[in-house]
Amino acid sequence: MLAYVLRRLLHSVPIVLVGSFITFIMVSASGDPLGDLKAKQPPVPPAVLAAEAHRMRLDQPVLERYWHWLTGILGGDWGPSVKKIDIGAEIWPRLLVSARLVTLAVLLALTLALLVGVVSAVKRYSTVDYVFTAIGFLLLSMPAFWFAILLKQQAIDLNQATGATLVYTVGEASIPPPTGFWPTVWDVLGHLVLPTVVLAMTAFAPWSRFVRSSMIEVQDSDYVRLARAKGLKRRTVLIRHALRTALVPLTTVVALDLAVLFSGAVVTETVFQWRGMGSFLLSAVRDKDIYAVMAWLLLVSVIVVLFNLIADLLYAVLDRRVRLG
Amino acid sequence: MSGVVAEVLGVRDLTVSFPDERGRVTAVRGVSWSLRPGEVLGVVGESGCGKSATALAVMGLLPLGAEVGGSVRVHDRELLGLRDDELAAVRGRSVAMVFQDSLSALNPVYSVGFQVAEAVRAHHPELGRDEAVERAIELLEVVGIPNARERIADYPHEFSGGMRQRVVIAIAMADDPDVIIADEPTTALDVTIQAQVLDALRTAREQTGAATVLITHDLGVVAGQADRVVVMYAGKVVESGTVEEVFYSPRMPYTLGLLGSLPRLDGRQQARLTPIAGTPPPLDRPITGCAFAPRCPLATDLCRTEEPPLASVDGEHLAACHFSADLVGKRPQDVFPPRPAPPPPDAPVAEQATPIITTPTVAAPIVTAASLVKHYRVRGGGLFRRDRGELHAVCDVSFELSAGETLGLVGESGSGKSTIAKLLMSLEDPTGGRVLLDGEPLSRRGHARDLQIVFQDPTNSLDPRMTAAELVAEPLRVNGTGRREARARALELLRSVGLSGARSERYPHEFSGGQRQRIGIARALALRPRVLVLDEPVSALDVSVQADVINLLEDLRDALGLAYLFIAHDLSVVRHIADRVAVLYLGRVVETGDRDAVFDRPRHPYTRALVSAVPLPDPRAERARERIVLTGDVPSPAHPPSGCRFRTRCPKYLAELTDAQRARCSGEVPALLGGVACHWAEP
Amino acid sequence: MVEIAYAPADGELSTATPRWRLVVRRFLRHRLATVSLVVFVLLVLLAFVGGALWHYSYDVYTPDNSQPPSARHPFGTDATGYDLLAQVLRGTQRSVEIALFVAAVSGVFGSVWGAVAGLHGGKVDTVLMRIADLVLIFPAIAVAAVLANNVGASSQGWLLIGLVLAALTWPYVARLVRGLVLSLREREFIAAARTFGAGSWRIIFRHVLPNALGTIIVAVTIIVAVAILAETALSFIGFGVRPPDTSLGLLVSQNQTAVSTRPWLFYFPGLFIVLIALSVNFTGDGLRDAFDNTRSRSRR
């Protein structure tokens, strides 16, 4: 097992390195960070431009810049910003904000997907199954931003109708934040409700379909038949043999969809005007703040790789056949 | 079928139907039989006859959407219509089941011990975890798992096929059932392993006192194991009685045909098999009259309009045939006339009167395999996945093949026989040695015409997107023949394997298994090869169809003077078709020679065990036979034993030899001398 | 396996049916999928033909501002007087164009990539699939925003947006096709073709591709739906299609504040997105069943 963990870990290192290089080249080539400065009227003096170019390390050869950037990050320096912000200081709190959204959405989506997937598989081709299937397809075909605005409007109407703020529709927390631990938690949760629902729904649809089809496959398998032939109760067979085995490949699916969830988070946060990773990315791209964009991409891709690694290890724990391969 | 005889399990008028794309398929159309205490009831029939569906219906384990009618009674308690939780109390406790495919029957994510202990606790929740595990170890020891205590934490994939099947048997025994239903328990296993598993099943029977339903397509297994037999055809019982009655005086043409189409290892049969023409009827529409009538040479209008009842022909010997009285004393060849051989390709009809007969003895070899060696690399699972060594698939194999001659290559899984086929076809490059064609080293271009192959599974070896005519024309098209000419020749070839013009535009899935294999043979013949490599060409087919294909192969060989390399694990088939035989074990030839010599007077201990393990479809002979049951599994080809590779399972090595003699076995590779590679071969 | 008595399709009894007709027949039996395909085709026709015939253009002001739906303006107008029907039709046209372009590019590119990886195996396979996996570790919308930032405004912007989205979706096709080719490669009919001397190209085009086609078509169909949603999301956050051109995502974005006051401005473009994606997804589901004969067993 240890050898397997180390081997998977070693596999991840080159992925992250190549990923960081691609990130660097892609973002560097995507635009001139001094574009806005150069376009200014009246024109900025060349000396100022040169100094800014030097500050942004644009006077260095590409490979050197890459090396400089990568080693800088290991030392905690995320590179210079066009807007002269401290990228590291700015991005971490925002990552926490987005992470709690994504985490909660994953948990909600997983719970619902398991429930709905199992019920659909057990009662396949029944009315319940068809209703769930229809909902799944609808969610699969609904743009998250449109759904988010719709939900937000409903919440605003509800709040107005009741004259109280039942759920928050703007921001990730109240400004200024309430004092005390529990009020803070309550406030954060109130802000989380709508975005979590939106994000969870986008992931729920494909996952519930996946659970359904793998449950159906497993239910028709010989080992489930043997488990029933032993005289085990239906529920025991369903949970211990069918669900447990069907869950194994789900780990990979969830980990792989993490990048998709971050995409969804960007859109969702935009609708609910969160100050999370979404708005950080969008303003960085708009400002051509290349090191900020790189920081975002690197951070998120490392998280995705990390969770894929965890999923791989989980898979190996859940299914012993893997380690041989 | 009166209620006088005590029965533990009774099936009455059972019907089972499944939803299908085109409507409903009625897989079981009114089946009745009863199982008496302590007996073994064999249920035989070809694939699709409804034998497995019957078993699943008894267990209440049919897939969703299946409809069941009739009655299933265990100790006079009706099972049909019970709720699932009520059935759960019956399953495992009253009726236990052993499934065919032990790899898929065990859950891959739980240890073997857990799965056996789970069966123990299913009806004894009061047992603690440790007690259940202790009982599981006991059960595993009973069915013959060595070091059971150490192995309970292992997972199914760490067990061999034979070992896994024993685990499944242990699970069936767990709660001392009254009935064990074994559904094709040995079908996927090698013969020597089959013998072990049948022993384990017998042990299970003796320990639990359970009556057993043994479902199988293998008449040999039934002959050796069963007390009574039920023969099924197209979802119905067509004959039942004691094994002796059914095997020695069958009263239903289907049973007779089945016995006649079976090649026998003891060679006691006519030169030609008597296949049953046609295929079983589709079950998605009602059948009028006798379901076997379209294939029955005796059928009259009565058979086609009125279904014969299953009636007594002699006491408890029942048969469903209007003319069962006419079958007394008939041999298969009396009823089933041999089909005339279709005209061979190339030979115009006029010239066909004098078939070319070649004498194998004088001909120079077409193909020579000279010291063939094939190793595969195996990667380890460690940190750096170093090469873990090599898998020795084929080790120093030599043989010659002449025109008109058939060399049978037999061996169990891991013997390297399929690798040899690939080496011959240049699908793999040999690690050492070479293949010579007319004495010249093989080149790709040259061999394409002279050497062709027929694969085991015609479903897999025919491109599903091409019609029969396109499939057969493909080799010609690849080799530059024009479209029209290739097509004309393809139609001619299809005719020569018995597939007439109208069917040539159909796709593989529209043919039955036997017909698909005919297409495969026609395709192999397209380039007018001199040698056909037949890699298990009939093992995926039902016996009645298998006989038909074997006959076709014999006709083609005789008419075209082809040389066959016939690769098979079924010794009976090889005995029937081959002139010479080479027996492989772990990549080495252990014995070779004339087929009668090898099968009647085997000299190598492995050949002796192999021959003795093959069941004969002859109850008395089968029961009287002395059987050599090998212990253990075939070692992994990645770590073959030193010296003689067979020594780890060799009864002689393990029981008869002295230590000094053994040292020679482990130290020195026995050379193939006088046709046998054993230091202590039988004279 | 349960030995279910499917009588072997008897050559003597069944009639010859070309495979594609079987597929069409199975697809038509899936009623929802058939309806969906019709809906999708009608939507596309409406967008391309109807947009050209409609007497208002998407980029010409009408004298009516903020009109609710009426006979004159079936979808109403926005605050500046644009006719929303004209805009929605134009947006549909753009979104469908981009989605089809994405599906075509990533379908072809992904198939070739996956097929090469699967057929070659070994080191080539490892390297090619590592590259494909690499694309998947980045959130698509972020990469798309970065890459499309400079191109969206240009006249051929929609093509470039399509290219960017294709660059992010092809790995899904590649992974699928590779898996398929790996399993096809083990099938004996490929080995059979080699034994009678068929070359690599003949094997690919005569044996592998025809057998993989069904799966590829299904995958490409799903990509159409994915691309519609991705393009609209990208346009929504401001990095996709830009004014004066328009797309459904941009329309939702521009009109999101109107959701409570002039809801038609928000609902119509959104409903069009849902309708397109839904019809494509159902069509894909029907195609999957039609191509895969093992799945449609107990569905009626």
Domain extent listing, chain B: 9-233, 249-335, 367-410+432-569
Mean pLDDT of the A65-91 span: 85
| Cα–Cα distances in angstroms (integers) from residue A204 to residues A200, A239, B19, C142, in the given order | 6, 20, 31, 22
Q: Give the tens place of pLDDT for each residue, C211-223.
A: 888 888 888 999 9
pLDDT score recorded for residue C116: 87
Residue of C nearest to B527 (CA): C196
Token pair of A286, please? 């708009």
pLDDT band at B353 (very low <50, low <70, confident <90, very high): very low
Q: Which residues pair with B312 in a beta bridge?
A: B318
CA distance A301 to chain C (A): 5
pLDDT band at B251 (very low <50, low <70, confident <90, very high): very high
Q: Give the tens place of pLDDT for each residue, C81-136.
A: 777 788 888 889 888 989 999 999 999 999 989 988 888 888 888 889 989 988 88
Instruction: Measure the N-to-C terminal CA separation of chain C; round to a whole number of Å.
Output: 23
pLDDT score recorded for residue B123: 85
Topology of B367-410+432-569 in CATH?
Answer: Rossmann fold (3.40.50)
Q: Give the tens place of pLDDT for each residue, B396-455.
A: 999 999 888 999 999 888 888 889 998 888 888 888 888 888 888 876 555 567 888 999
Cα B496 from Cα B472, distance rounded (Å): 12
Cα B179 from Cα B38, distance rounded (Å): 9
Topology of B9-233 in CATH?
Answer: Rossmann fold (3.40.50)
Q: Give the tens place of pLDDT for each residue, B408-418.
A: 999 888 888 88
Chain B contact probe: residue of C15, C20, C188 with most B CBs at under 10 A: C188
Quote the percentage of chain A above a pLDDT of 70: 99
pLDDT score recorded for residue C53: 74
Q: Which residues contact C136 (CB under 8 A, 6 or more apart)?
A: A256, A259, C171, C172
C277, C280, C283, C284 alpha-carbon torsion, rounded to 10°: -100
Cα-to-chain-centroid distance, residue A124: 31
DSSP state of B272: S
Cα B88 from Cα A228, distance rounded (Å): 7
Mean pLDDT of the B653-669 span: 88
Q: Is the fold of B9-233 the same as that of B367-410+432-569?
A: yes
pLDDT score recorded for residue B354: 41
pLDDT score recorded for residue A83: 78
DSSP state of B669: P
Cα C263 from Cα C75, distance rounded (Å): 10
Question: How many beta-carbon pairs below 8 A join chains A and C?
Answer: 128
Whether residue C7 lies inside any domain: the answer is no
Among the partner-chain residues A222, A234, A324, the one whose CB lies closest to the CB of B85 is: A234
pLDDT score recorded for residue B514: 85
Cβ-Cβ contacts under 8 Å, B63 against chain C: 2, 4
pLDDT band at B351 (very low <50, low <70, confident <90, very high): very low
Cβ-Cβ contacts under 8 Å, A221 against chain B: 104
Among the partner-chain residues B61, B107, B155, the one whose CB lies closest to the CB of A229 is: B61
Please choose, from the candidates B228, B292, B286, the residue with its C-alpha nearest in 3D space to the C-alpha of residue B258: B292
Cα A144 from Cα A142, distance rounded (Å): 6
Among the partner-chain residues C130, C229, C238, the one whose CB lies closest to the CB of A143 is: C229
Whether the pLDDT of residue A160 is over 80: the answer is yes
pLDDT score recorded for residue C10: 36
Cβ-Cβ contacts under 8 Å, C256 against chain A: 149, 271
Whether residue C10 lies inside any domain: the answer is no
Among the partner-chain residues A138, A285, A305, the one whose CB lies closest to the CB of C145 is: A285
pLDDT score recorded for residue B521: 93
Mean pLDDT of the A186-193 span: 86
pLDDT score recorded for residue B343: 65
Sheet holding B317-319, edge to edge: B95-98, B179-183, B211-216, B40-44, B228-233, B236-242, B317-319, B311-314
Domain tally for chain C? 1
The alpha-carbon radius of gyration of chain A (Å, integer) is 24
Which of B177-186, B549-558, B631-640 is predicted with the least confidence, judged by mean pLDDT?
B631-640
Token pair of B75, please? 């100790």
Cα C146 from Cα C238, distance rounded (Å): 11
Sheet holding B531-535, edge to edge: B451-454, B531-535, B563-568, B406-410, B580-585, B588-594
pLDDT score recorded for residue C155: 63
Chain A contact probe: residue of C130, C143, C266 with most A CBs at under 10 A: C143
| Cα–Cα distances in angstroms (integers) from residue A112 to residues A108, A130, A197, B400, in the given order | 6, 16, 11, 66
Cβ-Cβ contacts under 8 Å, A226 against chain B: 97, 99, 105-107, 168, 171
Compute the C-alpha angle A23/A24/A26, nearest 5°.
65
pLDDT score recorded for residue C294: 46
B573, B576, B579, B585 alpha-carbon torsion, rounded to 10°: 30
| C287: amino acid identity, one letter | L
Please choose, from the candidates C177, C178, C173, the residue with its C-alpha nearest in 3D space to the C-alpha of residue C222: C173
| pTM to 2 decimal places | 0.85
| B61: amino acid identity, one letter | L
All domains of chain A in start order, with CATH: 23-77 (no CATH), 87-318 (1.10.3720.10)
CATH of the domain at C231: 1.10.3720.10
Chain A contact probe: residue of C137, C229, C242, C271 with most A CBs at under 10 A: C137
CA distance B17 to chain A (A): 17
Q: How many CB atoms lie under 10 A from the CB of residue B464?
A: 16
Whether the pLDDT of residue B355 is over 50: the answer is no
C295 near B CB under 8 A: no
Contact B52, B45 (CB under 8 A): no
Residue of A nearest to B383 (CA): A3
Cβ-Cβ contacts under 8 Å, B168 against chain A: 226
Cβ-Cβ contacts under 8 Å, B384 against chain A: 7
Whether residue C267 lies inside any domain: the answer is yes
Q: Give the tens place of pLDDT for each residue, A2-17.
A: 788 888 888 888 888 9
pLDDT score recorded for residue A102: 93
Burial B209-237 (b: 16+ CB within 10 A, else e): ebbbbbbbbbbbbbbbbbbbbbbbbbbbb
The alpha-carbon radius of gyration of chain B (Å, integer) is 26
Among the partner-chain residues B425, B457, B460, the one whose CB lies closest to the CB of C195 is: B425
| Cα–Cα distances in angstroms (integers) from residue C32 to residues A134, A137, A209, C29, in the given order | 11, 12, 18, 9
Question: Higher confidence at residue C260 or residue B348?
Answer: C260
What is the 3-class SS of chain C, one letter each residue? CCCCCCCCCCCCCCCCCCHHHHHHHHHHHCHHHHHHHHHHHHHHHHHHHHHHHCCCCCCCCCCCCCCCCCCCCCCCECCCCCEHHHHHHHHHHHHHHHHHHHHHHHHHHHHHHHHHHHHHCHHHHHHHHHHHHHHHCCCHHHHHHHHHCCCCCCCCHHHHHHHHHHHHHHHHHHHHHHHHHHHHHHCHHHHHHHHCCCCHHHHHHHHHHHHHHHHHHHHHHHHHHHHHHHHHHHHHCCCCCCCCCCCHHHHHHHHHHHHCCCHHHHHHHHHHHHHHHHHHHHHHHHHHHHHCCCCCCCCC
Whether the pLDDT of residue C2 is over 70: the answer is no
Are the Cβ atoms of B475 and C188 closer than 8 angstroms? no
Chain C contact probe: residue of B21, B29, B532 with most C CBs at under 10 A: B21
Cα B72 from Cα C56, distance rounded (Å): 74
Cβ-Cβ contacts under 8 Å, B97 against chain A: 226, 229
Burial A172-201 (b: 16+ CB within 10 A, else e): bbbeeeeeeeeeeeebbebbbbbbbbbbbb
Question: What ipTM was estimated for this complex?
Answer: 0.86
Mean pLDDT of the C163-175 span: 91
Mean pLDDT of the A154-183 span: 81
Mean pLDDT of chain C: 80
Mean pLDDT of the B138-146 span: 89
Mean pLDDT of chain B: 86
Quote the percentage of chain A above a pLDDT of 90: 28
pLDDT band at B339 (very low <50, low <70, confident <90, very high): low
